[in-house]
Structure 1
Amino acid sequence: METTLNGSRASAAVGDSGWRYLLGGLRTAVPVGSLAQAAEVAALAVAACADDADRHLALDIRRGRVLLTLQSAEHAGVTTLDVELAHRVSTAVGGLGLRTEPEVATGAPRSLQLLEIAIDALDIAAIRPFWKALLGYADEPGPDVLVAPLVDPLGQGPAVWFQRMDVPRPQRNRIHFDLCVPHDEALRRLDAALAAGGRLVSGDRAPAFWVLADGEGNEACITTWQGRDG
């Protein structure tokens, strides 16, 4: 029976095979030497997922690597089947002498990541339709539309989510970036941002997220799945 997994269970189930849990999905990269090899990897991944490919697998083929995502379209999250499929894909890719890994390419300066845009709002219901129409986005599957992020149906742009404010905050930016990184990448990224002139605004909710700011006070968050299962 297919069961939805929380972040800690999903991460533990696939970490050794080079997949990482990010924003409700399992993600990995396969470094390749050519587009022809990338196409071969993609075909192997689809074959490994068999009849479940259309409902669980997403692919992004670029020069130098293939990005793979596994997520249940029905549950908008990771299930036990996604974990099984991840291991199948890793085994199939290994047959080519390649490997699934969290780095986007061998020697790359960073690992996998996903960008979200967060908008602070006093009345989410009033402004959410504007952003949905402007961006041509769709509702992420879920029971509560106001809580669910807006997502690009073509998978090209970052998700947009809304954070409720109690009172106006005119002296603070109202739109900020949330950068979701693998849990084992977060501290390295945090240190790099601080060394580049940033400052730590708050680490009270770490490792779920750290709030950072640039030299002029514009804020951004580094986020992980950790600290969210409770």
Structure 2
Amino acid sequence: MERIPSRREASEAVQEHGWRYLLGTLQTSVPVGTMVQAVGLAADAVAVCGDDADRHLRVDVRPDAAVLTLQSLDHAAVTTRDIELARRISAAVGRAGFLPQPGIGTGAPRSVQAVEIAIDALSISGVRPFWKAVLGYVDEAGADGPEDPLVDPVRQGPAVWFQQMDRARPQRSRIHMDVSVPHDEARRRIEAAVEAGGRLVSASRAPAFWVLADPEGNEACITTWQGRDG
């Protein structure tokens, strides 16, 4: 029976197969040399997923890579079916002579990642309809409440979630980015941000997230699945 595993279970189940758990998805990148190769790998992935492809698999095809994402659209989460599909896809990619990898330490421009925009609000239910309309976003599956996140229906833009404020804070930015990275990439990303002129504002909730700021105080969070459940 298909079920939703813990973040730790999902991460450990696919890590050796070249995938990483990111923000309710499984992701990997397969470096290629041509668009034809990328399209061929995408076709292989669809084939091994079979009837599950439409409800679980997304593929971003580029001349230098095929980026694969697995998530159950019905649950808006990773399920045990996604884990099985990740293993099948990795085997198919290997048979084709390629290597699925998250991009860490491989010379890739960056690791796989997922970006969210967080908006601080005194009345989440008051501002959420505006952002839903102006972005053309929709409710995530199973999350249609007045304070729930919003997602891009074609999955091109970052998700938007709302953080409850207890009082107005005009002295600080009220919109920031959350960059969800593989758990074994977080430290490198934080060090790079600090070396680039940023500063670490807080690590009190690490390894779930670290708060950083640029030289003018604009904040961003580096997040991982760790520290959120068993």
> Do they fold alike, i.e. is TM over 0.5?
yes
Who is 2:155 aligned against?
A: 155
Q: Deviations over 1:30-84 (max 9, x none)?
A: 1111111111100000001011111111111012000111111111111111100
Residues 72-221 of structure 1: pairs in structure 2 closer than 5 A: 72-103=72-103, 106-143=106-143, 145-221=145-221
Who is 2:63 aligned against?
A: 63
Shift of 1:149: 1.7
Who is 1:8 aligned against?
A: 8
Distance 1:146 1:228, change over 3 A: farther
Q: Which amino acid aligns with 2:101?
A: E
TM-score when normalising by structure 1 = 0.97
- Deviating 4+ runs (over 6 angstroms): none
Q: Deviations over 1:126-167 (max 9, x none)?
A: 000000000001111124524432111111111111000000
TM-score when normalising by structure 2 = 0.97
Equivalent residue of 2:47, what SS?
helix
Distance 1:48 1:61, change over 3 A: same
Once residues 2 and 54 of structure 1 are traced to their aligned partners in structure 2, the CA distance between those partners, rounded to angstroms, is 16
- Give the conservation status (yes or no) of the 8 Å contact 2:124–2:147: no
How many corresponding residue pairs?
A: 230
Q: Deviations over 1:173-206 (max 9, x none)?
A: 0000111100000000001111111111110000
Once residues 18 and 138 of structure 1 are traced to their aligned partners in structure 2, the CA distance between those partners, rounded to angstroms, is 31
Once residues 163 and 108 of structure 1 are traced to their aligned partners in structure 2, the CA distance between those partners, rounded to angstroms, is 33
Equivalent residue of 1:43, what SS?
helix
Q: Structure 1: give runs of 5+ residues left out of the alignment.
A: none
Shift of 1:5: 1.1
- Give the conservation status (yes or no) of the 8 Å contact 1:116–1:178: yes
Who is 1:47 aligned against?
A: 47
Once residues 103 and 41 of structure 1 are traced to their aligned partners in structure 2, the CA distance between those partners, rounded to angstroms, is 17
Who is 2:38 aligned against?
A: 38
Superposed CA RMSD in Å reads: 1.4
Equivalent residue of 2:51, what SS?
helix
Once residues 204 and 198 of structure 1 are traced to their aligned partners in structure 2, the CA distance between those partners, rounded to angstroms, is 18
Distance 1:202 1:160, change over 3 A: same
- Give the conservation status (yes or no) of the 8 Å contact 2:104–2:185: no
Distance 1:104 1:200, change over 3 A: closer
Once residues 51 and 213 of structure 1 are traced to their aligned partners in structure 2, the CA distance between those partners, rounded to angstroms, is 45
Shift of 1:109: 3.7
Q: Structure 2: give runs of 5+ residues left out of the alignment.
A: none
